[in-house]
Structures are given as structure tokens and as C-alpha cells.
Amino acid sequence: MTNEPSSEPGRQPVRRMPLPGVAAIAFYLLLVAGTIVIGVVGGHYPPVLLIFSVLFISACGGLVASFRWAWALGLAAVFSLTAYNAWIFSQQRSAPSAIQGLLNLLFFLYLIRPEVRAGLR
């Protein structure tokens, strides 16, 4: 069974599903956005970070739908999180930020694979 829509009359087109890694990255971006929202509501983060939360949620929805613009937005989000965690690690030498930075780097490297880009529309 292919992921391409069927050209036979009377058959429903096959729905394209995202790769499991892309779906996991979309879920991760949703978790990061939720963390930002909870942090802003709790007063731990400045309200301007809600802009990032909206962008992460948009990237999440678009990645699940396999849109090319969402791939670019998700790629930018994961890269900026990688850079942020690298900066935190260089300043504070905290192990959790190093681990999260490496996880974001892994997500970035997954998103730039040709197989992932080929599945976008």
C-alpha cells in the first residue's frame, strides 16, 4: 500500500501519515509550548515568550499535516532550542541543559534528512 492518492475511480485516496520521528518531534514541540504557557501563567517566564509558544504550536500542527512551511518552522524551533541550551550549558554547566541540547540537536539532524524532506508537500 502506497502513500500516494489512488487514481482508480471509486476508491478513496490513501491518507498520508507523517513519519514516526516527525510525529514525535511535533509532540515534543507541543510539550515545549505547553511548558512555556504554564511558565508564563505561573510568572516564571516573561509574557513575550508566548510568541514562541504560538510558533511551536503552529509548527506542531503543520508537521503532522506534512507541510513544508511547518518543516521550516519546526527546523528553526529545534535549532533555536539547541542554541539556547548550548548557551545555558556554557554559562551554568548544568547537565540537564546539555542533555536537552543534545536531544534538540538529534531532532535537528533528523529533520534535515532527505527522506523527511521528500515526504513534505
Asked whether residue 6 is assigned to any structural domain, the reply reads: no
Q: What is the pLDDT of residues 70-109, one digit of tens each?
A: 999 999 999 999 999 999 999 999 999 999 999 999 999 9
Q: How many domains does the chain have?
A: 1
Asked whether residue 79 is assigned to any structural domain, the reply reads: yes
The answer to whether the beta carbons of residues 29 and 56 sit under 8 Å apart is: yes
Neighbours of 48 (CB within 10 A): 8
Asked whether residue 5 is assigned to any structural domain, the reply reads: no
Asked whether residue 2 is assigned to any structural domain, the reply reads: no
Residues 6+ apart with CB under 8 A from 76: none
pLDDT at 6: 55
Asked whether residue 54 is assigned to any structural domain, the reply reads: yes
Q: What is the pLDDT of residues 14-41, one digit of tens each?
A: 557 778 899 999 999 999 999 999 999 9
Residues 6+ apart with CB under 8 A from 84: 101
Supply the pTM of this predicted model. Answer: 0.81
Domain hosting 40: range is 20-118
What whole-number distance in Å separates Cα of residue 109 and Cα of residue 111?
6
**Predicted confidence (pLDDT) at residue 64 exceeds the cutoff of 70:** yes
Asked whether residue 15 is assigned to any structural domain, the reply reads: no
Confidence class for position 68, pLDDT limits 50, 70, 90: very high
